[in-house]
Structure 1
Amino acid sequence: MGGGRGSKIIITTRSREVASLMGTVSPFYLQGLSPDECLSLFKKCAFDKGQEESHPNLVEIGEEIVKKCRGVPLFVRSLGCSLYKTTNESDWLFVRESKIWNEERKENEIGAALKLSFSLLPSCLKPCLAFCSIIPKGDTFSSYFLIHSWMANDLILVPSNDDHKELEDMGMQYLKELVFRSFIYIGNFYLSSSLSLRMPDAIHDLVRQVAQSEHLRVSSMAENVSGNVRHLSLHLTPNMISQQPPESLKKMRNVRSMHLFPSDAKARQNRVVLLATKSVLEMCISRFQHLRLLVLFGSSFEKLPNAIGTLKHMRYLNINGNRRLKGIPASICRLQSLQSLDLGMCLRLKTLPDNMGNLVSIRSLVITTQQMLLPAENGIECLSSLRSLQIFSCFNLKNLFKGVDRLENLRELVIDGCPSLTSLPCSMKYLRVLEVLVVSNCAKLALDLTREEGKDGSTGNCGLLSLRTLAIQALPELKSFPPWLLQGSANTLRELAIVSCPELMALPDELQNLSSLQKLQLSDCPKLKSLPAGMQNLSSLKEFIILLCPELSSRCRPPFGGQDWPKIAHVPDFYLDGFKVNPSSNN
């Protein structure tokens, strides 16, 4: 409706029927890859470089396999990656001779190649991929949400011979394997270590098909629901607000996961409040006593029912984006099995519950609150199992809680959108296993540390000894980079980003000691004038980005005009003001 005269609309679809109904001109049928292109892509996915020359028999079988893929790149990639590092000829023959190829295939039916790829998945990955069927088609979702959902349903298996392997790390390993096999695509990084993910429509159709016995999406209150369903997703519309939950839901007893989504994709994306889900929520709590995961996107109730504390099996509770929530009952602290609690962007939440320290199993906590100070007694500092803490949009928060160093297992800390925050506790220097630190959008924060009682001032065990990723963004009061941030991480820090710090005038000399640094980004820091000495010592640096730093940019232009160019000439991928720099260029 907003298009000008002569505008055109392009629609993509896998259905010829949709094309004929929607099109005003003859449709364009996209052709598949040529046989040579298919084989080239297949070999890149199935073999390491040059390995195919040692296995001509497998290449010959591969030629027959790619012919069955009908030129569809997704099918070729998926099967090629499924056979990666498999040199047993019988495995390749199994794929070529599978009866799945002979099944009747209608135009909109899932391709045989994808069914084969799913059948070739390791047994531990099949239920993890099937779980993704609860996510609405076309939506993006975060790796944080997915991995913690897997954890809540005991879908992640830690090898018995590796007691030190973290569940979150194993979950990321599962995810990377699914990405490698083209079942899931990676979008952009979030502020934290989480990834933005998307599932191709064809894959989504596949997982809906394989998961239909235990996973169900309900989009009508009149819909009948099987009693065998374990993972239930309600996609509610505005006209369903006043309706009571369907009777079939009230008869269910085996539900382990419950997701409430607004049915409209735009509403989900913009976190529009569409759901008055109090009746559904009360039904979930009273009927689903074995519930392990409860996701309430876009919910609109003002307070969680006290009965939430009766769900003793609850592992993951997500109320992210509730703009009306004002209170959390103290009974939530009785959830001894709770691993993940997401209260992010609950902008009207007045206080966090007392005695949060009783959540002995919690590994991940996301909070938004109107409090000026976080609870000091039996609060967050007592969560000894906590691995990830994310503090978002706490507009009134002036100080973090004391005793941060008591979080001995904390690996990720994100502080974003806290404009009243003036300092960080001195005990942050003692987070020895912290791997990810993000501080962003804090208007009054200069990264100064406040002194705390009980510290003797010793520095023997001081320092962020495990830090791998550090991101500093939108801190207008930051004038000098505090050395404590890099203290102890010379051999561990791999990624460093400093963005939108308009008063920052210099980088620390300690930068030259970051022997493991692989990626460095400096953006929108107009007062930065030069790079510190010794930058040429950063032998591991693979990618360096400078953007919107005028004086610094002029000093880093190759090869004659920039005094700082010799310091970074060894970096393979150097991007200056949006363009990749060619070291041999004079421009």
Structure 2
Amino acid sequence: MSNGLIQSSGNNQELEEIGWQYLEELLSRSFFDAVQEYYPFLIFGMHDLIHELAISVAQMESSNMKVFAQDICPMTWHISFPNPSRVPKDALCSCLGKLSRIRTVMFEEGSSREFFLEMCISRFKHLRVIDLYGSSFDILPSSIGGLNHLRFLHLSDNRNIKKLPKSVCKLRNLQCLGLGGCRGLEELPADIKNMISLRVLFITTRHIGGCENLEALFDDIQSLTSLHKLLIGGCPKLASLPQGIKNMKALEDLWISGGCRNLRLLEGESNEPRFVLRLQSFIFGGSSEIVSLAGWLEGSASTLQRIMTGDCRNLRVLPEWLQNCSSLRTLGIEDCPRLSSLPDGIRCIATLTYLQIINCEEIEEEIRC
């Protein structure tokens, strides 16, 4: 998506859906294998022969540099740099002098040397992807805000970065911002709501620790009108979701993982008729406050494909509308000892292909009977 390789077919399909169709086609032709799912992530393996073929086909466009002294084709679009931290400045400048068409920049884990990153940003004005996963940059150059074509910025597991430059919020075309594991990050820029193309946002900050001290999400979260996935985890002081979440029309995946033990699901708004969510997956766990699923989730009954819950010790009942989930494929329930039964109609959901119930003694007893 970030490099424009996925094209809309004009039938209102989301780019993610089209991309998944591409992947299914490649899977069916054995270009990929060994698929593993760690929801919401998928991991693909590639056979050695296919890998060699891919490298052969892409040799003019892609380069995985081992050392800065190696020859690079001037036609290269996608490049992976070794760690520049121990390379003389002249050698780094010489390397960049050969390149001008770059769309993707990746650094190996542990990389630093801010001036080299700034040189890349100033020279490659048409960058679509910057992948700095596991790097140790202390700051990002403010010039990053001038990369009008940037779609993907990945900074996850950078433990040194403390702040993002305000100019990051000028990246109006950015689709994915990865800040997971950035535990030194003290705050987010105030104008992050202006990033109107953002589809994926993953955050950990020092200001909220490992999210231990987070008490609320920003109220105008609905300003992120393109956000498809919202993942929340390890937030023991988070008491509720922001009211604005009900107006996030693009949201498809809401995942509330372990460590949010005090989170309520807006139960007080269960009769609110104006929720416009069209969720495809809802995953929640680790909360002692949830006794039932919030009524506003019923608005997604026709679109929900996956519902999973775990370690909700006080969950007592599943709603009757669950049997109306006409697209439901996966239902997983684990460690919910007070949940005594399933709605009768669940057995009649034609699309349900995976049902998992673990450590829910009362339900298991009911099924045996």
Q: TM-score, normalised by structure 1?
A: 0.57
- Show CA shifts across 1:333-364 (max 9, x none): 22333332222221111111122233343333
Residue of structure 2 equivalent to 1:505: 316
Give the C-alpha shift of residue 485 in structure 1: 4.8
Amino acid at match of 1:281: L
Report 1:137-148 matches (<5 A). Answer: none
Q: Distance in 1 between matches of 2:311 and 2:95?
A: 53
In structure 2, relative to structure 1, the CA distance for the partners of 1:534 and 1:169 (3 Å cut) is: closer
Match of 1:474 among 281, 286, 301: 286
In structure 2, relative to structure 1, the CA distance for the partners of 1:523 and 1:357 (3 Å cut) is: closer
Q: Secondary structure at the match of 2:49?
A: helix
Q: Distance in 2 between matches of 1:529 and 1:367?
A: 36
Match of 1:496 among 307, 328, 331: 307
Q: Which segment drifts farther, 343-352 or 395-404?
A: 395-404
In structure 2, relative to structure 1, the CA distance for the partners of 1:363 and 1:546 (3 Å cut) is: closer
Residue of structure 2 equivalent to 1:321: 157
Residue 158 (str. 1) matches residue 8 (str. 2): yes
Give the C-alpha shift of residue 407 in structure 1: 4.4
Q: Secondary structure at the match of 1:314?
A: coil
Q: Secondary structure at the match of 2:300?
A: coil
- Show CA shifts across 1:271-328 (max 9, x none): xxx3223243122123222222111121102111222223233222111110111010
Q: Distance in 2 between matches of 1:185 and 1:288?
A: 34
Residue of structure 1 equivalent to 2:80: 233
In structure 2, relative to structure 1, the CA distance for the partners of 1:338 and 1:469 (3 Å cut) is: closer
Match of 1:173 among 14, 17, 21: 21
Residue of structure 2 equivalent to 1:208: 55
Residue of structure 1 equivalent to 2:341: 530
In structure 2, relative to structure 1, the CA distance for the partners of 1:152 and 1:517 (3 Å cut) is: closer
In structure 2, relative to structure 1, the CA distance for the partners of 1:484 and 1:356 (3 Å cut) is: same
Match of 1:487 among 273, 293, 298: 298
Q: Which segment drifts farther, 225-234 or 538-547?
A: 538-547
Residue 444 (str. 1) matches residue 257 (str. 2): no
Q: Secondary structure at the match of 1:281?
A: helix
Amino acid at match of 1:486: L
Q: Secondary structure at the match of 1:188?
A: strand
Give the C-alpha shift of residue 393 in structure 1: 4.8
Which structure has the highest helix share of the two?
1
* Maintained 8 Å contact 2:196/2:226: no
Residue 184 (str. 1) matches residue 23 (str. 2): no
Q: Distance in 2 between matches of 1:408 and 1:359?
A: 9
Residue 242 (str. 1) matches residue 86 (str. 2): yes
Q: Secondary structure at the match of 1:397?
A: coil
* Structure 2, unaligned runs of 5 or more: none
* Maintained 8 Å contact 1:299/1:322: yes
Amino acid at match of 1:207: A
Q: Secondary structure at the match of 2:173?
A: coil
Report 1:357-368 matches (<5 A). Answer: 357-368=193-204
- Show CA shifts across 1:384-430 (max 9, x none): xxxxxxxx953322111113345454433221222221111233334
Match of 1:355 among 191, 199, 208: 191
Q: Secondary structure at the match of 1:175?
A: helix
Q: Secondary structure at the match of 1:187?
A: strand
Q: Secondary structure at the match of 2:27?
A: helix
* Maintained 8 Å contact 1:483/1:510: no
Residue 420 (str. 1) matches residue 232 (str. 2): no
Aligned residues: 366
Q: Secondary structure at the match of 1:496?
A: strand
Match of 1:289 among 122, 125, 135: 125
Residue of structure 2 equivalent to 1:103: none
* Maintained 8 Å contact 1:523/1:548: yes
Amino acid at match of 1:473: G
* Maintained 8 Å contact 2:328/2:351: yes
Amino acid at match of 1:333: C
Match of 1:224 among 71, 94, 97: 71
Q: TM-score, normalised by structure 2?
A: 0.89
In structure 2, relative to structure 1, the CA distance for the partners of 1:393 and 1:165 (3 Å cut) is: farther
Residue of structure 2 equivalent to 1:198: 45
Q: Compute the RMSD of aligned alpha carbons.
A: 2.7
Q: Distance in 2 between matches of 1:361 and 1:517?
A: 29
Q: Distance in 2 between matches of 1:450 and 1:510?
A: 16
Q: Distance in 2 between matches of 1:352 and 1:534?
A: 45
Match of 2:272 among 459, 471, 491: 459
Q: Secondary structure at the match of 1:309?
A: helix
Q: Distance in 2 between matches of 1:409 and 1:292?
A: 18
Give the C-alpha shift of residue 450 in structure 1: 8.3
Amino acid at match of 2:148: K
Residue of structure 2 equivalent to 1:147: none
Residue 311 (str. 1) matches residue 158 (str. 2): no
Give the C-alpha shift of residue 186 in structure 1: 5.4
* Maintained 8 Å contact 2:238/2:263: no
In structure 2, relative to structure 1, the CA distance for the partners of 1:283 and 1:403 (3 Å cut) is: closer
Q: Percent identity?
A: 37
In structure 2, relative to structure 1, the CA distance for the partners of 1:493 and 1:331 (3 Å cut) is: closer
Q: Distance in 2 between matches of 1:428 and 1:334?
A: 23
* Structure 1, unaligned runs of 5 or more: 1-150, 263-273, 373-391, 563-587
In structure 2, relative to structure 1, the CA distance for the partners of 1:339 and 1:507 (3 Å cut) is: closer
Q: Which segment drifts farther, 439-448 or 210-219?
A: 439-448
In structure 2, relative to structure 1, the CA distance for the partners of 1:181 and 1:235 (3 Å cut) is: farther
Amino acid at match of 1:153: N
Q: Secondary structure at the match of 1:196?
A: strand
Give the C-alpha shift of residue 180 in structure 1: 1.7
